[in-house]
Amino acid sequence: MRKYLNLTKRNCLVFLRDRTSVFFALLSMLIVLLLQAVFLGDMNVESILELIEQYGGEMRNDAADEENARQLIQYWTLAGILVVNAVSVTLSVIGTMIEDTAENRSADFYCAPVAKIAVAMSYVTTAAIIGTLFCMVTLAAALVYICATGGTMLSLAALGKIFLFTLLNVCIFSVIMYMVALFVKSSSAWGGFGTIVGTLVGFVGAIYLPMGSLPEKVAEVLKYIPILHGTSLMRKVCCEEALNQTFTGMPEEFITEYKEVMGITVSMHGNDVSDGMQILFLILCGVAALLVSVWIVRKKNLSDR
């Protein structure tokens, strides 16, 4: 256990000391923030205001509606960013394993009296720890900004759920990224893979474009990808209070449709997927990635004999 903890500590320090790796780990998040600030944020707010004007009736407070709509989009964006970090940060941290392999440092670990499973778990644990840390720092900074600009703080119950869902997402994607890394031999290849993932994660999570704006077949494919369900879980918690404030007095059918269009809820075969089913789906994806990883490692061990 001590060797495993020492390896985990070593991996954390190696990653955090590399400022370039830290920057690229957060690059996807920065792109989302930039797009929301320059283009998508105001567009989404205006879309909500148009819907309120159309379906909200005459007795509305325009200033309050605009403030509530902006807060809703801020929390909607925050939920997406947390999942983006869970993907991009864990991917960058697992890159430490690729570098160790490429520079033959892994051979030194295996020559030492350390079980291979401890070495493997140290990489996954490092990704989970740093991913959770970055997500929590992002959450704290976002809440300070939202409250400073007149927004409402989330309840303690909501914050607790966000932490648990963040931990779930980070752990699942740490295992998935480790599995993918077993197929990669060089740092340049891993960097190329990271570029692709960083570009696509915003689309796969329905962050750049809401689910309702995507082609129907594309939306159906995304529903079988864990990123969307992880984002949906986070959005349900982050946006619940803001949704109630923004669409107060409006028809329930309208609110249900809006949630589906914005990817807050995911509908499959005509029914909304429950939180329990989404959590189960994420866990199954993580277990499948873990089983594949174990199979690959065992196969490598046999071939090395």
Alpha helices by DSSP H, 262-305: 275-304
Distance CA 296, CA 116 (A): 13
Show the tokens assigned to 211. Answer: 């689910």
133 contacts 92 by C-beta, under 8 angstroms: no
Helices (runs of H) and strands (runs of E) counted in the chain: 13, 2
CA dist., res. 81 & res. 44, Å (int)? 16
> What tokens does 287 get?
């277990």
Q: Which residues of the chain have pLDDT under 70?
A: 37-40, 56-59, 105-114, 300-305
Q: Which of 202, 194, 239, 240 minimizes the C-alpha distance to 222?
A: 202
Instruction: Compute CA distances 45 → 66, 127, 150, 244, 269, whole Å.
Output: 7, 35, 16, 16, 30
Q: What is the pLDDT of residues 206-263, one digit of tens each?
A: 787 788 778 888 888 888 999 999 999 999 999 999 898 888 878 888 888 889 988 8
Q: What local confidence, expressed as pLDDT, does residue 305 receive?
A: 47
Q: Is the dihedral of CA 81, 85, 87, 91 positive or negative?
A: positive
The CA-atom distances, in angstroms, between 164 and each of 108, 135, 168, 228 are 36, 12, 6, 17
CA-based nearest residue to 78, from 281, 239, 222, 212:
239
Q: H or E segment at 267?
A: strand 267-268
Q: What is the pLDDT of residue 127?
A: 94
pLDDT of residue 129: 95
Long-range contacts of 16-25 (CB under 8 A, 24+ apart): 16/130, 21/92, 21/95, 22/92, 24/92, 24/194, 24/198, 25/88, 25/89, 25/91, 25/92, 25/93, 25/134
